[in-house]
Amino acid sequence: MARYKVEIMETLRHVVEVEAGSQKMAEQIVNDRWKDGEYILDADNFAGVKFKAICTVD
């Protein structure tokens, strides 16, 4: 039998609305607030999972 490493990638998603002068500024505001802990994503924000197997030994 072959051996495999399997990558598990979970995706969390949360949408917030902010007022800003541009798209870039809006992203920066949300980024800063996220870094400051204003937005905490957890299992309630689960949006999906992907699995990817890579054969390591034949």
How does pLDDT run along the chain (58 residues), one tens digit per residue? 889 999 999 999 999 999 999 999 999 999 999 999 999 999 999 999 999 999 887 6
pLDDT at 58: 63
Q: Supply the DSSP string of the chain, one letter for each residue.
A: --EEEEEEEEEE--------SSHHHHHHHHHHHHHTTS----GGGEEEEEEEEEEEE-
Total number of domains constituting the chain: 1
Domain span holding position 19: 3-57
